[in-house]
Amino acid sequence: MLNLILSTMTQDRRLPDPGRNKPFSSGGMVLVTGANGQLGLELRRLLSPQTTLFTDLPELDITSAKAVRVLFEEYPIRACINAAAYTAVDKAETESDLATRINVEGPQYLAEACEAFGALMLHISTDFVFDGKANKPYGTNSPVSPLSVYGQTKAEGESRVLHACSRAIVVRTSWLYSQWGSNFVKTMLRLGAERPALGVVSDQHGSPTWARDLAGALMVFLEQELTGEDFGIYHYANAGTTTWHGLASAVMAGAGLPCVVNPIQTAEYPTPARRPAWSVLDTSRIQERFGLPIPRWEDSLKECLTLLLNSE
């Protein structure tokens, strides 16, 4: 039996380059970094290539302050969505320098450029900034106390962004998955089709979030006339709470796979990086401020599974 836990490493899936045309709206352009990742690919569905710069490596290295500055000088950027991140949670324990460059320095350079050119900064962060010792959903003002190098770099990146840009918004999310790249849901589908039984961690609690829902929520910030009180930290995750075991079981049921999912404890599957046992996010601020409906994780998972199974 194979014991499993979340691996947050995502792999890029290239789409045809939409081209870097220069026709743009009077309001300027939107810059999307990490555009070939899970969230970035969903943002491609929502934003026009005529008014959006979709960038990833090698088009833009966000860890180069010069490269970032040159891009902002060349294009009239009105908003930046930073979906680029180092997300290999366990590898970060031994690659802290690289994780710091991508998760701390890169966001800072983008935020500084946004401040200099009067652009909105939207930075994506994670539930891993918390230590998991709470017994209720973490609020946007809850103190951060990350357990891992990955969490530490994401927490520091948040701080740098908010300090560098007066029009910055940090959006924390959790347990992200999509039909793209490599993620927990797709891993469960693959292993569920290959094996009769799996052991999956049942003592870590959170809210699975479909990247498509998160992308839609980010559009709210681009479409609003934001004032000073609107900036700062928000949480967005699909509604409801489960465990990795619960999510894996839902994947098997939704896909009609006979694989048995057995619950195991975190201690039975040690990893280099520690994960929070509880990372449920309080999403009330984004709901109250923008009247944003948030789908339940079970409903969004069903929609994503339909896309995945129909694409096979």
- The residues carrying an active-site annotation are 150
Do 170 and 241 contact (CB within 8 A), yes or no? no
Q: Show the tokens assigned to 278.
A: 């509880």
Amino acid (1-letter code) at residue 193: A
Give the C-alpha separation, 288 to 38, whole Å: 27
H-assigned helices in the chain: 38-46, 65-74, 96-100, 106-117, 149-164, 184-194, 211-223, 244-255, 284-290, 297-310
Q: Which helix (H) or strand (E) element contains residue 51?
A: none
The residue among 118, 222, 101, 227 whose CA lies nearest residue 165 is: 118
End-to-end CA distance of the chain: 26
Amino acid (1-letter code) at residue 285: R
